[in-house]
Structure 1
Amino acid sequence: MFNLASGTFEKTSLSWQLQQLSQQVGEWLEGLLPRNASAPTSDIPQLPEWLLEGLFWLMVIAAIVWAGWQLYRLLGPYLAEFWQVEQVDDRTGVTPSPQHTVAEWLQQARLAQQQGDYQTACRALYMASLQQLNDRGILVQQLSRTDGEYLDFLQLQNLPRPYQVLIQTHERLWFDQVTASADTYERCWQAYQEIERS
């Protein structure tokens, strides 16, 4: 291919390769189709009707499953509150209480921060924010929810950005195995204070 700007020949380029591939696919498709309406179509391989029908229904089912999954992700946080069933301990018949209060999580954050364990301190602030959402009745806390589900819910509710900071930091620290620093804790602490002011 001749490059006008530099006056040299190029061996190959990505755009040229894509153009060639597109042309080859087009020519292949032309070869499959009849040249005119009067030409015999016996050259074209015919798939059995049951196979075509099966492929059609497979695509319909896949589209329905995909649409259902998208609806579940979108509406899941709303529906979970309506379908929330209190868990009862079979041995005692008592509904378990939350493990920690917001104050207890904040105390744990302070202690961990004083000991230089910024990872645990950030997680405690994250848990305090989730407990606060639960206490305010905005979002029922569930152990099975992922950080992604919490973020989806917060975006739908237009809740303040500090929640996102805490959740995304928690996700990085616990699942990407990033080490927390004093600066990380400071960002989490500032985010939590903004939440308390809101």
Structure 2
Amino acid sequence: MSTDAFEKTSWSWQLSQLQQQVGEWLEYQSYRFERVLPEWNPDWQLSPWLASLLQFLFWLVVVVFVTGVIWRLWLVFSPYIYSRLASGNGIGVRINTLSQDLSVTSWWERSQVFYRQGNYREACRCIYLAILQHLHDQKIIIHQPSRTDAEYLQLLRLSQTAIQPYETVITTHEQLCFGNTEMLPENYQQCQQAYREITQK
């Protein structure tokens, strides 16, 4: 039988070699560390309550750290996860529609009525709702009432959509809701221009 018929190497063998080398390296490092430590008196011990306290503090730090990491990951990825679940199979996610279930055109017409009345605040709000309905209808981002403006922007960045017109409308909405900024005709015209850019794509 020729030697070519035998396997010369395999992934499982290479993995076992790597594990052995890492184990030997760790054993060598611990040996070196033990040699530089001062000689402890064999009679010396930590009191049991101090040992218990140190052990408790160690596990408390580990739990707080892991919880913090999980929480940060959840904050970053939850909007994306919800969006994927809602737009994918819809498994376990009930799709919520916008209040009053109006179409994009209906929200647009309402915005024009408010604009003619001089109520720029409500006119900009209606354009914002028209944009959210557009995102929902196009299945770019499924609407959820609990979603914040920042979450919408984050999801838009992830969906690789041209974000500038959306940013215009969403930042105007944030100013409208959370600031004392007075809405002017210029604000409405900026939102109107952004709306046209979004819906004509």
TM class, shorter-chain normalised? 0.5 to 0.7
Over aligned residue pairs, what C-alpha RMSD do you find? 2.9
For 1:96 and 1:158, the matched residues in 2 are separated by 23
Residue correspondence of structure 1 range 27-106 to structure 2 within 5 A: 48-81=50-83, 82=85, 83-86=92-95, 99-106=101-108
Provide the residue aligned with 1:117 in structure 2: 119
CA contact (8 A) 2:153 2:167 kept: yes
Runs of 4 or more, structure 1, over 6 Å off, are: none
For 1:189 and 1:96, the matched residues in 2 are separated by 20
Q: Which runs of 5+ in 1 are unaligned?
A: 1-36, 39-46, 88-94
For 2:188 and 2:147, the matched residues in 1 are separated by 23
For 1:102 and 1:157, the matched residues in 2 are separated by 21
What percentage of residue pairs aligned between the two structures are identical?
36
TM-score (norm 1): 0.66
What letter is aligned with 1:84? V
Question: Where is the helix percentage greater, Structure 1 or Structure 2?
Answer: 2
Give the number of aligned pairs: 151
Q: Which runs of 5+ in 2 are unaligned?
A: 1-37, 40-48, 86-91
1:172 to 151, 175, 178: 175
Within the alignment, does 1:189 sit opposite 2:192 as a pair? yes
- Per-residue CA deviation, residues 139-176 of structure 1 (Å, 9 max, x unaligned), is 11011111111111112222221111111110111112
Q: Give the CA deviation at 1:116.
A: 0.9
TM-score (norm 2): 0.65
